């Protein structure tokens, strides 16, 4: 097609890395946040077990969606990983503390 | 990601939409068909087209029930369960069905259904083997040729993509109201964009609702973590409590006489407030440990969970009144699921659901056509100089042809197979399903080699005319026809035929549109038969460059 100089190639590989990293963060990191949030909601929502579990599950997809949008809106892809992993470990810690 | 949030979301919308849009189209298509699941099932069983359809008649329930019990004890003595289904709006006939004892290693036995004719003395036993509407219903979330569990994860994954595509789509659609009223015809990619906007925005609440509630229907599988923390890992206990369903009744192996079911009727009517009964199920008939479960016809109630009123089938004691636990979370959950399935909807509302589903298909189809159109414009110069289109473009165009033009054709082939395959064929129901996928595969193979407008027109002509001929097929292969069905007010069958004709005509109309588009292009050019637009127009909403 067009002759590609090495600078351009470098940029492409950077961009590809950026996108792959974000996609992985969105799919797996996002799920981790949603899953931990789901588990957390189930024990902190003050309802009967079956009801709080239901509510938590119903809400979890909204959390997942928000996390994914977040991944694609922060400046650097490593920031996305930091936020998601930080948030999910925080949630997990609270789960361990509460139960 | 990009320079700003708006641009990032534009990028996200394009790629998230494009990556899974063909699976999504299949899911949307099958789901939209599923709104008419029972009507399709009825159509695919022409043995039931005459003298079968009837309304629920409370005064006849007693005699129907005693006849049913007599019939089932004669014909299904050793069955695992008996099911007596009374006519409802969606399934307007009386039927006796049963499940045979499962063979070793199988979880379920064979399901046999005999349908009672009007007048109640004759029973139709030789209904052809067909999946009918259930094929599309299952296709919607179990796909095909793969374990249900894997399929459901794939469907969930795609639904999440859909949700993200919707959210990012809303974000980038700054001029949501202005664009809503503009539709520029015959303007190439600008028109595809307008069509994409209209079909998305017009039914936006529906799209958001159907995607989110779709995830909710299978949430216990996707997000079991709430149950795991709240029940200390015992998800079974959660499900038990949620469904309020008593554990499975295991036969004791001692025989006992089943109670005369009609003696339970006064009690049922009192519990149900004389509302119609939908189904009576006898589990382990003839065994000492046997139950009678009675289900109410929930009609147009929104929270339509299937809750059983349960009796002991030997002595007739009431074991479970079947009153739903009433809580905000449960009701919200039920409502979300009901919104997805639309079981509560009457004919008018159901039709609107169906139209919204069609708009969803249009949204997905126009989105990917728009993408292909724009990329082709970008490569316009190279292609005109005799270079090949890029692999990505060829792939997308091939998949577009296969799924957008192919799905209606495949559905039509399914209906033809239903009527034309030999009645006593082995695995008949499976071959109907196979024929659906064979049709799709043939188009995919054609698309590997040729994706020109001519192929599109050919496929559209084929599916359009075959759909228009459906009433003819019905008249020739069943014991009634469209006019007779109108006369006898069999609206399900009439609706099916008319809907096929309407869809067929619109497909032929689309084909005509493609024809006129081709004529306007200058002749003698190599790419003259390709779908393209000579005028390159800046599409502000998708590139994010605000004009």
Q: Picking from B155-159, B221-225, B376-380, which range would have the lowest pLDDT averaged per residue?
A: B376-380
* Contact between B444 and B398 (Cβ < 8 Å): yes
pLDDT value for B175: 66
If pLDDT is split at 50, 70 and 90, which confidence band does B196 have?
confident
Chain centroid to CA B400: how far?
21
Tens of pLDDT, residue by residue over B225-274, are 999 998 888 888 888 777 766 667 788 888 888 888 888 888 888 888 88
Tens of pLDDT, residue by residue over A27-70, are 999 999 999 999 999 999 998 888 999 999 999 999 999 999 99
- Tell me the C-alpha distance between A53 and A49, whole Å: 6
Chain centroid to CA B479: how far?
27
Between A62 and B56, residue with greater pLDDT: A62
Report, as an integer, the average pLDDT of A6-30. Answer: 85
Report helix, strand or coil for B278. strand
Question: Which chain A residues are closer than 8 Å to B219 by Cβ?
Answer: 57-58, 60-61
Cβ-based neighbours of B42, under 8 Å, separated by 6 or more: B48, B49, B132, B492, B493, B496
Residue that has been written with the tokens 């046997």 in this structure = B290
Which of A23, A57, A63 is the best mutation test for B, with the most CBs of B within 10 A? A57
Q: Which of these, B356, B363, B317, lies nearest to B340 by C-alpha position?
A: B356
* Contact between B530 and B376 (Cβ < 8 Å): yes
Q: What is the mean pLDDT of chain B?
A: 85
- Tell me the C-alpha distance between B261 and B140, whole Å: 37
Cβ–Cβ contact B212 with A under 8 A: yes
pLDDT value for B543: 37
Question: Which chain B residues are closer than 8 Å to A41 by Cβ?
Answer: 226
Report, as an integer, the average pLDDT of B454-482. Answer: 92
- Tell me the C-alpha distance between B310 and B322, whole Å: 7
Cβ–Cβ contact B1 with A under 8 A: yes
Question: Which chain B residues are closer than 8 Å to A68 by Cβ?
Answer: 160, 164
Q: Which of these, B165, B234, B227, lies nearest to B200 by C-alpha position?
A: B165
Q: Enumerate the β-bridge partners of residue B320.
A: B310
Between B238 and B398, residue with greater pLDDT: B398
Q: Is B317 left (phi over 0), alpha (psi -120 to 50) or beta?
A: beta
The ipTM, to two decimals, is: 0.90
Q: Do A50 and B238 touch (CB under 8 A)?
A: yes
Q: Report residue B165 as tokens.
A: 């595509």
Q: Report residue B481 as tokens.
A: 């026809």
* Contact between B227 and A53 (Cβ < 8 Å): yes
* CA atoms within 13 A of residue B240's CA, in its CB half-sphere: 8
| pLDDT value at B382 more than 70 | yes
Burial class (CB in 10 A: 0-12, 13-18, 19+), B307: buried
| pLDDT value at B523 more than 50 | no
The alpha carbons of chain B give a radius of gyration, in whole angstroms, of: 27
Report, as an integer, the average pLDDT of B74-78. Answer: 85
If pLDDT is split at 50, 70 and 90, which confidence band does A20 have?
very high
- Tell me the C-alpha distance between A96 and B441, whole Å: 51
**Given B1, B160, B333, which is nearest A64 (Cβ)?**
B160
Report, as an integer, the average pLDDT of B24-29. Answer: 96
DSSP of A80-99 = HHHHHHHHHHHHHHHHHHH-
Residues 473-512, chain B: which have Cβ within 8 Å of A?
none
Cβ–Cβ contact A91 with B under 8 A: no
Residue that has been written with the tokens 């559905």 in this structure = B411
If pLDDT is split at 50, 70 and 90, which confidence band does B217 have?
very high
pTM score of the predicted model? 0.88
Tens of pLDDT, residue by residue over B326-341, are 788 888 998 999 999 9
| pLDDT value at B526 more than 70 | no
Chain centroid to CA B393: how far?
30
């Amino acid at each position: 097609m067009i002759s590609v100089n090495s600078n351009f190639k470098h940029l492409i590989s950077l961009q590809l890395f950026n996108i792959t990293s974000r996609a992985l963060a969105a799919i797996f990191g996002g799920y981790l946040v949603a899953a931990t949030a789901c588990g957390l909601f189930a024990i902190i929502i003050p309802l009967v077990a079956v009801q709080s579990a239901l509510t938590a599950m119903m809400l979890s997809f909204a959390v997942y969606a928000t996390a994914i949008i977040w991944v694609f809106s922060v400046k650097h892809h490593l920031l996305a990983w930091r936020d998601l992993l930080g948030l999910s470990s925080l949630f997990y810690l609270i789960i361990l503390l509460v139960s | 990601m990009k320079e700003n949030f708006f641009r990032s979301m534009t990028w996200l919308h394009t790629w998230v939409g494009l990556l899974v849009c063909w699976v999504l189209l299949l899911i949307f298509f099958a789901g939209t068909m599923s709104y008419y699941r029972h009507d399709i099932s009825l159509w695919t069983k022409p043995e039931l087209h005459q003298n079968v359809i009837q309304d629920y008649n409370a005064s006849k329930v007693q005699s129907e029930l005693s006849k049913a019990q007599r019939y089932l004890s004669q014909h299904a003595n050793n069955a695992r369960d008996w099911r007596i289904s009374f006519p409802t709006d969606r399934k307007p006939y009386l039927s006796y069905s049963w499940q045979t004892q499962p063979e070793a290693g199988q979880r379920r036995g064979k399901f046999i259904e005999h349908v009672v004719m009007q007048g109640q003395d004759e029973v139709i036993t030789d209904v052809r083997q067909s999946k009918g509407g259930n094929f599309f219903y299952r296709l919607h979330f179990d796909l095909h040729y793969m374990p249900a569990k894997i399929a459901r994860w794939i469907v969930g994954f795609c639904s999440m993509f859909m949700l993200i595509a919707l959210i990012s789509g809303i974000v980038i659609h700054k001029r949501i109201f202005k664009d809503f009223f503009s539709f520029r015809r015959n303007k190439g990619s600008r028109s595809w964009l307008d069509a994409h906007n209209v079909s998305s925005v017009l039914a936006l609440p529906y799209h958001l609702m159907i995607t989110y509630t779709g995830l909710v229907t299978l949430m216990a599988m996707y997000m079991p973590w709430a149950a795991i923390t709240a029940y200390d890992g015992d998800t079974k206990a959660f499900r038990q409590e949620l469904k309020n369903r008593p554990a499975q009744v295991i036969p004791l192996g001692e025989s006992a006489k089943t109670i005369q079911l009609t003696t339970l009727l006064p009690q049922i009517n009192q519990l149900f407030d004389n509302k119609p009964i939908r189904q009576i199920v006898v589990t382990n008939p003839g065994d000492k440990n046997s139950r009678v479960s009675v289900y109410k016809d929930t009609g147009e109630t929104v929270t339509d969970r299937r809750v059983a009123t349960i009796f002991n089938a030997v002595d007739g004691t009431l074991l479970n009144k079947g009153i739903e636990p009433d809580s905000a979370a449960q009701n919200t959950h039920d409502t979300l699921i009901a919104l997805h399935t639309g079981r509560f909807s009457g004919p008018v509302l159901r039709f609107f659901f169906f139209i919204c589903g069609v708009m969803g298909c249009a949204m997905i189809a126009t989105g990917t056509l728009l993408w292909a159109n724009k990329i082709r414009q970008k490569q316009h110069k190279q292609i005109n100089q005799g270079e090949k289109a890029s692999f990505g473009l060829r792939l997308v165009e091939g998949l577009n042809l296969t799924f957008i033009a192919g799905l209606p054709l495949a559905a039509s082939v399914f209906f033809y197979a239903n009527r034309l395959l030999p009645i006593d064929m082995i695995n008949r129901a499976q071959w109907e399903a196979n024929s659906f996928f064979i049709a799709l595969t043939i188009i995919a193979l054609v698309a590997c080699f040729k994706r020109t407008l001519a192929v599109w027109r050919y496929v559209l002509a084929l599916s359009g005319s075959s759909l228009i001929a459906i009433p003819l097929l019905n008249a020739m292969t069943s014991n009634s026809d469209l006019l007779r069905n109108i006369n006898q007010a069999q609206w399900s069958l009439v609706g099916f035929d008319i809907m096929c004709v309407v869809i067929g005509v619109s497909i032929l109309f689309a084909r005509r549109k493609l024809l006129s588009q081709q004529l306007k292009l200058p002749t003698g050019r190599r790419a003259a038969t390709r779908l393209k637009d000579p005028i390159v127009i800046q599409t502000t909403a998708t590139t994010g460059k605000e004009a």
